[in-house]
Amino acid sequence: MGGSSFGERFRITTFGESHGGGVGVIVDGCPAGMKLDVAEIQEELNRRRPGQSRLVTQRQEADEVEIYSGIFEGTTLGSSIGMLVHNTDARPGAYDNMREVYRPSHADYTTEAKFGLRNWQGGGRASARETIGRVAAGAIARKVVAELHGTEVIAWVSAVADIETNIDTHAVTRDRVEADPTRCPNPTTAAAMTDAIDRARRDGDSLGGIVTCVARGMEPGLGEPVFDKLDADLAGALMSLPAAKGVEIGSGFAGTKMTGRQHNDAFVPGPDGRPRTASNHSGGVQGGISNGEDLIMRVAFKPTATISSPQDTVDSENNATVLEARGRHDPCVLPRAVPMVEAMVCLVLADHALRQRTARL
């Protein structure tokens, strides 16, 4: 299947299916000589794994990563890094009733329309379990951008359905995000989100929402001026995540309600000897290139497509039928989407950081 590789200089290729033997990733382009502990990769996978709380799918997977190449005595070699996570709690039998039925808002019909066949056990490559490879590779990319520029990437759940929190992006820390299973750093809002997710699950329904992400300590000059703009690559990366339906950078759609005078980010002398901006409506990117301010992004995720309520659909012979889904599924993807968003941002930033090193003498 095509479309499984991402990046130019820092490039990844993911593989595996939800109910196959395992899922993993090959990372190419990681510089040699970087200290890397498998525990740093495992930490990110633990944040993504199922079964963390009652708010997510109860599939029990340890998601323990095995590294097969590219690292020796805790140091990257500059060669391809191969990583694999075995599936240990796959239950393909839970999908027997979906063998000939198209699940609403899933990739069942579209995958079959493209390839003429599909893996009906859990969605195959379209399953969110594919993101294990992205998160594992993102952990390496996170270290690359931290060592090159001191960049820090933090994401959090800022909205579930119509429950929102408006928190200062400068005040969010990883500890605050991880303090609650919702991964919302505002305790009051997190409690309301938990109640809403619980109600949806009990009702056989699901909820969507928004993940906000900030990259601090950005280096100016990352990105290309035409097709490979930093914001364009970020948007494409984030939209490639399962259930993502929209991306905003900086002011996003709200900027359309402002005038040019209101929206323009005035330059002021910076304390570090380079220009800074008095505001950040641009979200850290101007002309497709980073300006050194914080990168600010928001990603909209739709409600989980698999719900336990009966749904109208058709079978492979185009006969009307009713689907009653079985299996273990997230009533809300938002809490587990946080490390996925961070991973994709880190992958884009690592790729552009390495590309920038050859942009001029």
Domain boundaries, the chain: 5-356
**Six-digit token pair at 287?**
């002309």
Length, in residues, of the chain:
361
Residue type, 114: K
**Tokens 């035409």 sit at which residue?**
226
List the beta bridge partners of residue 11. 28
pLDDT tens for each residue of 200-235: 999 999 999 999 999 999 999 999 999 999 999 999
- C-alpha span between 60 and 77 (Å, rounded): 33
Q: What pLDDT shows up at residue 54?
A: 65
pTM, rounded to two decimals: 0.94
pLDDT in tens, 167-211: 999 999 999 999 999 999 999 999 999 999 999 999 999 999 999
Q: 314: helix, coil or strand?
A: strand
Looking at residue 58, its pLDDT comes to 56
Task: Find all residues with CB under 8 Å of 38, minimum gap 6, and list them.
Answer: 65, 67, 71
Could you tell me if 108 and 98 are in contact, meaning their C-beta atoms sit under 8 angstroms apart?
Answer: yes
Give the H or E element holding residue 188: helix 187-202
> What pLDDT score does 1 carry?
44
Distance CA 23, CA 124 (A): 11
Query: How far is the C-alpha of 66 from the C-alpha of 72, rounded, in Å?
Result: 13
Low-confidence ranges of the chain (pLDDT < 50): 1
Contact (CB, 8 A) for 306 and 106: yes
CATH of region 5-356: 3.60.150.10
- What pLDDT, on a 0 to 100 scale, did the predictor assign at position 49? 84
